[in-house]
Amino acid sequence: MERLVAPAKLTVTLEVLGRRHDGLHDLRAEMMSVDLADELTVDPGGDGLVVAVEPPAVAAPAADGENLVHRALAVVGRRAAVHLVKRIPVGGGLGGGSSDAAAILRWAGVTDPEVAAGLGADVPFCVVGGRAEVTGMGERVRPLLDEDRSFVLLVPPFGVDTGAVYRAWDALGVGGDRPEAPPGGGNDLTAAALVVEPRLARWRDRFAEVTGRVPALAGSGSTWFVDGVPEGLGLAGRHALHLGPDEARLLAVRTVPAGWAGTRPAEPTPTGGPDATAPTGP
């Protein structure tokens, strides 16, 4: 059996260059791998997929044939029993499913970006990892020098449909005027994501109120992020923000280089450290 680590990806900047004739979109983005990660244990002598959920993930993706792990195994023509420990929140725009698929491709020795792109737009970057400029529909990945950066993520209690966000981007751009990202966002999809999921704005504003920073949206959402560490952002001792009865998880992460395998099963760091187990206000 072999243990694989599948780090989340953070889309730090995202420019949508236009809609192609086939309805897909060309983009230019800067992406980074961070130390929030899923873990896969692969047994080539077995078959089937078992998914276990650990915080901060609260829900498991389907373990059926549509799961990207199954699809990646099919693409490379391999069979294996896979035990997936899901820690990357589903639907947060952090590329958890794509990174799981990329881990299987690397395990099988398949690094062809066209094969990876056939599984999803984020999979080619996740195969490469580290820090990179991503262009085309995601299939062109140009590695960049690593940067040691820290971020705090705010993960709302809901996901956002990526396809719906791109359709909203198309609608907002009728007449040739591209939707603009808000100041500090660096993400052309922000306005469209707010149309698709208006609740994002309340969590952005709450995050900004507490940190004094302008949060950026990760990809199509739903995760917001700011640069820095909890102590410098007024978040020491906090593991979540609240809006009424709803809770959004706070996670402190750092960038990791290409090929990072972790020194132990990767666990995201709650912003208050291991003792931050209770909310500390709204």
Dist CA 27 CA 171 (whole Å): 17
Of the candidates 80, 130, 64, 120, which has an alpha carbon nearest to the alpha carbon of residue 97?
A: 120
| Cβ proximity of 219 and 121 under 8 Å | no
Secondary structure (3-state) at 35: strand
Among 35, 38, 100, 122, the one annotated catalytic: 122
Dist CA 33 CA 46 (whole Å): 30
Catalytic (active site) residue 86: no
Which amino acid belongs to residue 104? I
Catalytic (active site) residue 9: yes
| Cβ proximity of 25 and 282 under 8 Å | no
Secondary structure (3-state) at 70: helix
38, two tokens: 């899923």
Hey, which residues are catalytic here?
A: 9, 122
